[in-house]
Amino acid sequence: MLNTNGRTAYDESHALFRDQVRKFFDAKLTPNLERWEKEGIVDRQFWRDCGEAGLLCPTMPEAYGGLGLDFGYNAVVGEELAWSGSSAGITLQSDIVADYILHYGSEEQKRQWLPGMISGEVVTAIAMTEPGAGSDLQGVKTTARKDGNHYVVNGSKTYITNGQNADLIIVVAKTDPEAGARGISLILVEANREGFARGRNLDKIGQHSADTSELFFNDVRVPITNCLGEEGRGFAYLMNQLPQERLSIAVGAQAAAQRAFDEALAFVKERKAFGKTVFDFQNTRFVLADLASKLQVGWAHLDWAIRRHVAGELTAVEASAAKLWHTDLQGEVCDAALQLHGGAGYMNEYPIARLWRDARVSRIYGGTNEIMKEVIGRSL
């Protein structure tokens, strides 16, 4: 169980919510985790169960079926999900996609999509990355050209989380290919549109239960009303939403790092070598002491960042720094924790193996950590 003693980002209501989340994951997630890892996708029923339990999009207003809570409740779900060792894409829906629709969508779009996202009946994705464009979103080649009262969408996307399950995709596309960043728009594309196709469920190093896909758009016609917000404002919208996305990644990274540490500590206290436990060796204790100190600092910083974000004060630079620091810490802790397992750490039957594999991508998605340094560096 994730130790939350001394946390400063949460109050008693968050603690009660966390207890509900833990009980739900114990009943609905943990028993299915290994099967989902093998199948490469999470059951749609799990999404509906999450919705029924109030775990999806808790910040959305009550007018659309949400709970109207603060981001701290999203963070509770994110922490518990990551500590459980799951890579299910529910945080993408709650922490990223829902806010795009809430902040930039028309009233009709909100009423059409948010209730289903909250209930788990609708699964969403956001399609930014392309085979030739990753962190540089201005380099996207997918187009959405006007044809009467429709857009015609053409292009391809890759590495898209929830790609196999998604019913609705926010597509980052060029509505004016000659206008650079000012020519980027966000277009809602329903998965049942003619010309839309899913590619393969990608074979990844880790995060096996997260369906991550190629998506193809071949003359997909959608109404002009499917533009999310104003045409040409897509790049600005993406930049506005990055602080919460990067904080969400930091939340998961810190919790996963803690789980890796917890696994290592438990293992070395039981494992015997040369007539004593591995924990009894000074080197083991020193490694764990160093990691425990960094995790302590990490939790204090994460609580600071969550509080600032809930207050509407977290800047893009601060969020980038959080994403950089916590994902680097995740990598360090997971690697050291696997080493402390010895040969057992390389065996997939131990949770540390999955935690180690899953950790690697956190320094890449949401903007690579090199991009985080560039963002921070430009602010100095």
CATH architecture of 12-122: Orthogonal Bundle (1.10)
How high is the pLDDT of residue 273?
87
How high is the pLDDT of residue 16?
97
pLDDT, tens digit (0-9, with 9 covering 90-100), for 248-271: 999 999 999 999 999 999 999 999
Bridge-based pairing state of the strands 124-127 and 150-161:
unpaired
Evaluate whether 211 touches 41 at the Cβ level (below 8 Å).
yes
**Where exactly are the structural domains of the chain?**
12-122, 125-231, 236-379
Tell me the mean pLDDT per 10 residues along the chain, length 380. Answer: 93 97 98 97 97 98 97 98 97 97 98 98 96 75 96 97 98 93 96 97 96 98 98 94 95 98 97 92 97 98 98 96 98 98 96 98 95 96
How high is the pLDDT of residue 285?
98
The topology under which CATH files domain 125-231 is: Butyryl-CoA Dehydrogenase, subunit A; domain 2 (2.40.110)
Note the pTM of the prediction, 2 decimals: 0.96
How high is the pLDDT of residue 164?
97
Q: Which of 37, 79, 130, 245 is catalytic?
A: 245
Question: Of 224, 236, 258, 281, nearest to 352 (Cα)?
Answer: 258
The values of phi and psi at residue 174, to 5°, are: -90, 115
Alpha carbons within 13 angstroms on the beta-carbon side of residue 26 total: 7
Detail the DSSP E strand segments found in the chain: 124-127, 143-147, 150-161, 168-174, 184-190, 196-201, 212-223, 272-273, 276-277
Burial call 56-68: b when 16+ CB within 10 Å, e when fewer: bbbbbeeebbbbe
How high is the pLDDT of residue 179?
87
pLDDT, tens digit (0-9, with 9 covering 90-100), for 314-342: 999 999 999 999 999 999 999 999 999 99
| Cα gap 133→138, rounded to integer Å | 8
Residue written as token pair 């839309």: 196
Is 245 tagged catalytic? Answer: yes
How high is the pLDDT of residue 135?
67
How high is the pLDDT of residue 134?
63
Evaluate whether 378 touches 315 at the Cβ level (below 8 Å).
no
The topology under which CATH files domain 236-379 is: Butyryl-CoA Dehydrogenase, subunit A; domain 3 (1.20.140)
